[in-house]
């Protein structure tokens, strides 16, 4: 038996909700930042467990699945895309799903708008689907919200690697730390959701009133979470690689600077000796050698140029004057 088309509500309408319950018509109520009074009233209207209402009021919950007799509370985390992602200080939006055989209630903040596409999809669909399919589409959109963020992260990490190779600086180091924090936040949200769909999702399938065709749908969500986790781990390794690349680039640059300074000091070492030697004003030198312009040019400047040239030739022969790249 196939379930009737879903009725979608965007606000608490007592009369409509009572009518839908009396007619046993499955509906979806999507609430954006409801007040505590609204949630308390909704809980009494639909018979939701007080602990489930308390979790939705307080927010700040870890992804989990709690069963209360004939209802369940599924807490998920959705990802919010911001460009560039390194400036995404609040990448997550909590989504609460109150699930029953008669309804689905979603509670979330205003930043998460991806559920609008599910409303459009289910509202325009002419093919009747089961309640589990409709629940799957809602959860699937929440989980798939991570993929655009992952795509942005892939591009940013590639740009970061290019920037580090071109010339590692303080900005690149700051980007590395920002991306590490972002990846950690995302992973802390995804891993608990993965664990829920790996071990506890049968609770939803056992709710009275829901058709028992959930296994394939929820397995698909679990596969998506596995893929997201693997990508987050891979990106974390890439960012760690960027840290090593940054340190290596800085060390190479410092080595190049030290080499150049050493060459300059080595070239000036014989020059300092020659200027000191001829600057002593020995009597015999002044009387016999250092007379006239040619003596100054040949013995003075000539010896210094010759020593500098010989030193440079020797460094070139040893390959010390070229760049390591």
* Pair 146, 288 in one domain: no
Question: Within this chain, do residues 169 and 192 fall inside the same structural domain, yes or no?
Answer: yes
> Higher pLDDT residue, 73 or 302?
73
* Mean pLDDT, residues 127-155: 86
Do residues 17 and 164 share a domain? yes
> How far is the C-alpha of 41 from the C-alpha of 60, rounded, in Å?
21
Q: Where are the beta strands (DSSP E) in the chain?
A: 7-9, 27-32, 64-68, 71-79, 92-100, 103-108
Per-residue pLDDT tens over the stretch 203-237:
776 664 555 555 667 888 889 999 999 999 999 99
Identify the CA nearest to 73 among candidates 267, 185, 168, 203: 203
What is 167-205 written as a DSSP string? H--HHHHHHHHHHHHHHHHHHHHHHHHHHHHHHTTHHHH
Give the per-residue pLDDT at 189: 93
> Going by C-beta distance under 8 Å and a sequence separation of 6 or more, which residues neighbour residue 244?
none
CATH at residue 139: 3.30.460.20
pLDDT given at position 211: 56
Count of domains forming the chain: 2
Q: Is the pLDDT of residue 281 over 60?
A: no
Both 47 and 136 in one domain: the answer is yes
Return mean pLDDT, the chain. Answer: 81
Percent of the residues in the chain that have a pLDDT greater than 70, as a whole number: 76
In terms of domains, do 193 and 304 share one? no
Alpha-carbon span 325 to 320, nearest angstrom: 13
Q: Is the pLDDT reported for residue 148 higher than 50?
A: yes
Predicted confidence band of residue 1 (pLDDT cuts 50, 70, 90): very low
Span 173-182, pLDDT tens digits: 888 889 999 9
> Within the chain, how many helices (H) and strands (E) appear?
12, 6
Does some domain include residue 1? no
pLDDT at 126: 57
Domain of 83 in residue numbering reads as 7-249
Residues 239 and 132 placed together within one structural domain of the fold? yes
Q: Is the pLDDT of residue 10 over 50?
A: yes
The model's pTM: 0.75
Tell the burial category of 64 from Cβ atoms under 10 Å away from its Cβ (0-12, 13-18, 19+): middle
Other beta carbons less than 10 A from residue 293's beta carbon: 7
Measure the CA dihedral 252/258/260/262, to 10°.
Answer: -150
Least confident of 85-89, 164-168, 247-251: 247-251
Asked whether residue 292 carries a pLDDT value surpassing 60, the answer given is no
Which of 249, 280, 301 is the endpoint of a domain? 249
2, pLDDT greater than 60: no
Taking residues 277-297, report their average pLDDT: 58
Q: What pLDDT is attached to residue 50? A: 92
Residues 34 and 89 reside in one and the same domain: yes
Q: What's the rounded Cα separation, in Å, for the pair 28 and 7?
A: 6
- Asked whether residue 96 is domain-assigned, the answer is yes
Place 31 in a pLDDT band, splitting at 50, 70 and 90.
very high
Same domain for 92 and 209? yes
Q: Would you give the DSSP letter of residue 289?
A: I
Report whether pLDDT(59) > 70. yes
Query: Lowest-pLDDT range, 24-33, 205-214, 306-315?
Result: 205-214
pLDDT of res. 287: 56
Across 262-292, b (16+ Cβ under 10 Å) vs e yields: eeeeebeebeeebeeebeeeeeeeeeeeeee
At 299 the pLDDT is 63
Question: Is 90:182 a contact under the CB 8 Å cutoff?
Answer: no
Question: Has residue 298 got a pLDDT over 70?
Answer: no
Residue 145 has pLDDT above 50, yes or no: yes
Taking residues 242-260, report their average pLDDT: 73
Both structure tokens of 152: 């942005």
- The C-alpha atoms of residue 166 and residue 155 are separated, in whole angstroms, by 17
Per-residue confidence band for 38, with pLDDT thresholds at 50, 70 and 90:
very high
């Amino acid at each position: 038996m196939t379930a009737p088309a879903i009725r979608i509500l965007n606000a608490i309408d007592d009369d409509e909700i009572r009518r839908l319950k009396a007619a046993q018509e499955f509906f979806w109520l999507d609430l954006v930042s409801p007040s505590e009074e609204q949630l308390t009233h909704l809980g009494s209207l639909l018979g939701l467990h007080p602990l489930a209402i308390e979790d939705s009021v307080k927010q700040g919950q870890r992804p989990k699945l709690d069963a209360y007799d004939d209802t369940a509370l599924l807490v998920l985390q959705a990802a919010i895309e911001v460009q560039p992602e390194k400036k995404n200080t609040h990448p997550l939006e909590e989504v609460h799903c109150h699930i029953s055989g008669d309804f689905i209630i979603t509670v979330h903040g205003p930043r998460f708008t991806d559920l609008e596409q599910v409303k459009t999809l289910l509202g325009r669909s002419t093919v009747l689907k089961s309640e589990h399919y409709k629940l799957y589409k809602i959860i699937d959109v929440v989980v798939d919200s991570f993929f655009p963020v992952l795509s942005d992260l892939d591009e940013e990490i590639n740009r970061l690697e290019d920037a580090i190779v071109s010339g590692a600086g303080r900005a690149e180091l700051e980007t590395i730390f920002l991306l590490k924090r972002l990846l950690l936040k995302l992973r802390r949200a995804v891993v608990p959701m993965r664990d829920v769909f790996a071990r506890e999702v049968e609770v939803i399938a056992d709710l009275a009133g829901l058709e028992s065709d959930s296994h394939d749908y929820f397995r698909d969500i679990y596969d998506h979470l596995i893929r997201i986790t693997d990508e987050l781990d891979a990106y974390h390794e890439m960012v760690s690689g960027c840290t090593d690349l940054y340190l290596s680039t800085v060390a190479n640059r410092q080595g190049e600077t030290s080499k150049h300074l050493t060459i300059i000091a080595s070239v000036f070492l014989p020059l300092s000796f020659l200027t000191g030697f001829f600057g002593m004003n020995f009597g015999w030198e002044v009387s016999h050698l250092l007379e006239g312009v040619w003596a100054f040019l040949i013995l003075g400047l000539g010896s210094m140029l010759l020593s500098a040239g010989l030193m440079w030739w020797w460094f070139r022969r040893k390959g010390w004057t070229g760049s390591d790249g």
